[in-house]
Structure 1
Amino acid sequence: MKTIELRNALPLSIFSHEMLYSLLEQSVTNVNDKISNLVKSGELVRLKKGFYTFSKAYLRRPIDLISVANTLYSPSYVSFDYALSYYGMIPERVSEITSATSKNEKLFETPLGRFSYKKVPLQAYSLGVDWFYDDVDGGRFIATPEKALCDKIRYDRGIGTLTQSAMVEYLKYDLRLDITKLLDFGLIEEIATAYRSKNLKTLSQLVEKGKL
């Protein structure tokens, strides 16, 4: 099977060794050697043990980094700065894709960039997570704008406990936050309770009062 045929059969942003094997074993005697040679030639890009993507020459569309992040380490959902940038809530272009996970923290250095994972408590993990689907990459998990902002504030260790005025200053000048649509203060309050966070409680109060 030629690489272009393999790509046509695997249009995903990220795929497993098992997927490759099941396609190649129909026409290749030593499948593992074939996969190794495709990596050496640069046609396949190894992201971590057992997971690959195709090189740029074989891509029909940009790689979906959210799908890659979800697959490299699961369960997880994309959040923090990358999600805030994805929603246009902060001006910076974010290169590191940071996710939340219910498991231990993890970091992957890949040819596509850094993928990091922060551990969040189980009671907060499933709150405010959206699921998107398309016909190529399937389902993907990303924080809602509210959850991404809550995750960011909760894990910003240097800010201490903020008053309402200090929180407004932090959001405006430190994060340079741009809120383009109303946030759900009820969801933020629920997340604040799950995180047991005074700062997030303050955030929910500001949103409820329309001060953001």
Structure 2
Amino acid sequence: MLVLLAVPVVPAVLLGEDWVRGLWSGELPDRALIVAGAALLASDILLPVPSGPLLVLLASRVGWPAATAAGVIGLTVGGLAGYALARWGGRPLAVRWAAPDELARWEQAIAANGSWMVLASRPIPVAAEAVTLAAGLGRMTLGPFVGWLLVGNLLTSLVFSVLGQAAAQSEVLSVAVVLAVAAPLALHQLARNRHNRRAPKD
């Protein structure tokens, strides 16, 4: 997972601003790009799609409002898919998409801290998908789950999209792509460390 998340960063660092801009400067119409971006984000439960860099790049081309909308739609569809897979498919199906220890970790976190964990996990790679699966396994009430999911996806999409548009206007898009990978990874490590400190010792 870490290697796949690093894929957008390496060219951005080595090849610079012109390469990152050129990636999104082709002939594909904006509308098609928005639909493709939303579809990629929706597939995040199946594929390791780095949502932060994708939203940054999308916003640099189509603007933050359209990128935010694509993010909310795509991430929400993916989150609902994860919840449904786990709730109605059970643990044997859920562990095909997340490691058993990761699922157990987030099931405990949801049980201890409530459904707001769905909100807190949205920008965090690996955790975002694992939490939706854990919520399904725990049979979290659908209404609160969808509510927290929508709010989290809106905030996450808005932050990355505004960052992408601002970075494009300031001609520092490659820096924004690197930041969009590094910040969520740092959040993931912080979440793991916090859980490990709270975990009971044998």
TM-score (norm 2): 0.25
Structure with the largest fraction of helix: 2
Greater RCO (Cα-Cα under 8 Å, separation 6 or more): 2
The structure with the largest strand share of the pair is 1
TM-score between both structures, scaled by the size of structure 1? 0.24
